[in-house]
Structure 1
Amino acid sequence: MEGDSVSLNSPLTEMKDDDVIQWTFGDENTLIAEINVTADRITVYDDVLDGRFRDRLKLDDQTGSLTITNTTTEHEGDYRLKINSEIKSFYLTVFGLESVMEGDSVSLNSPITEMKDDDVIQWFGYKGTLIAEINVTADRFTVYDDVLDGRFRDRLKLDNQTGSLTITNITTDHDGFYYLKIKSEIRKRFFLFVIDEVKSVSVKEGDSVTLNFNLTEMKDYDVFQWRFGDENTLIAKINKWPDRITVYDDVLDGRFRDRLKLDNQTGSLTITNTTTGHAGDYKLLMITGRRRLSSKSFRVSVYDSVHCCGPTEAVIRLVLSALVGVATVIIVVYEIRSRRAEGDQAHIHTSGSIDI
């Protein structure tokens, strides 16, 4: 996802004394990183290609693996790892991530600020179906909103300056992958998920909370991502195929450090020793089967013993307090009446006694 980090893993567990490792990018095989063990030299060439890799490349000095941080669509493409004479290839795809509440609108933004006279812009949705097109030369703007059972009918709008696409009155039928072609070249991809329900969860500060969704077991090739906040920051991920669990607990000023636990069977996320910094929106993005997309959303509120709790708990506590108050009044009234009755009885006995 755009903004995330990605690691391209070397097959090595440890480099040898005579190893030379080179990472190249793109059709021109531009050198972007290099390790020369004999010379004890590690180099990243992050100023090449208009500086798109500047301050984004990290090399593992044990294995030679390459990490690209804060990815953008400019980092999409072919990567090659050359270890002495052996070559391993990777293709990196970068998606923009958009989340939207059901019934709202979302804009999928084109990377261009103004279209050229010969531009042909095409938007594709579910299963590569063409849903909108701009042909500047022919001066033609077309939305194919009757495709896919009419799920886009009266919902698509094209920006005639940039080619950006807006989808209005979103439903869960609009979940999924979208991509933009400019002159037959894919220029941008999007991952759109629609939130139809937000589950509210409340936890006392210092306690743990588990976010789960009634799944008994993940399947092979499933990928689960947990994201937090308005920026959809990736905080945890499970990739079942290589059976890899990753927690990104140093993001967001380290507020999640040593607090995240993932269940590798169900994908549930547990946050331990919660603070008010953990309150907010959590999104679970699930990619299953043939890129089938689904999602769940949670809103976590964190309360302390002084300020109590979330809205539901607050109402319950208020009702209980009221009931306790009423019960206390009843007991006090009963005590007063009982004592008064006892006093009256004592008075009667005293009045009717005979001195001997």
Structure 2
Amino acid sequence: MFDRSILLCLCCCRLVGVFAETDEVKSVSVTEGDSVSLQTDTELQKDDVIMWNFKTNGPLLVRINRATNDISIKEDVLDGRFRDRLKVDNQTGSLTITNTSITDAGVYQMTISSKENKNKHKFNVTVYARLPVPVISELPPNSSSGSSKCVLLCSVVNVSHVTLSWYKGISVLSSISVCDLNRSLSLDLECLDDSYSCVLNNSFSNQTTHLDNTDLCLPCSDCAFCCDASEVFIRLVASVLVGVATVSVLVYDIITSRKGEKETLSRSGMRVL
């Protein structure tokens, strides 16, 4: 009875070793167009056979036989989706996906088989779309309300799962988020004499557009307005001075012309009225 119990226990242990599979799924993130490498810390043996599948027990992508140094990459799997984009390392068993796209997102399973056991490791790959650079523009003044305040608008198009924010230094002035696909976002800011940044970010990366105070409130082609009241006053004074100078020149020309006419008539003996 004692010997049979030991034998049964050993058989159970043997079965556990053969079909060992970790419940842990390693999360990996990458920006679209970049490369991502999937690798485990498991020490490989000389006779290990490594297989990479897309999704759990899904289509086979790669098979590596370390004993014979044979590497087989399935170029035509999934209608050739991964053609010329898979690289493997025979020493570490790592899988590298180059020029990633949104369709590459999903679970990748690595199976390491030897004579003694079989281990499985899973990687959940998230591919983020490359973020566009925020564009800052200036809104025209609100003529209906008589407001001449300068308002800046930060905009992005075709984004999802992102946050758009205005910063002054490291302080957030305002922000807006979106979770829908392919949305356009815009966020306005009443500017002052300072420096600002418009930041678009997701949980993995960000894009920033900086704006210095020298770039703020540029005048449009058919109006003269700005956030800075002193600049408005200077422009107004300059316009008045130009107008006065123009009138002075015209008056001077008229007086000079009339004086010349009188002298001409006087010389000819005609009576000047």
TM-score of the superposed pair, with normalisation by structure 1: 0.35
Higher relative contact order structure (alpha carbons within 8 Å, sequence separation ≥ 6): 2
TM-score by length of 2: 0.45
| More helix, by proportion | 2
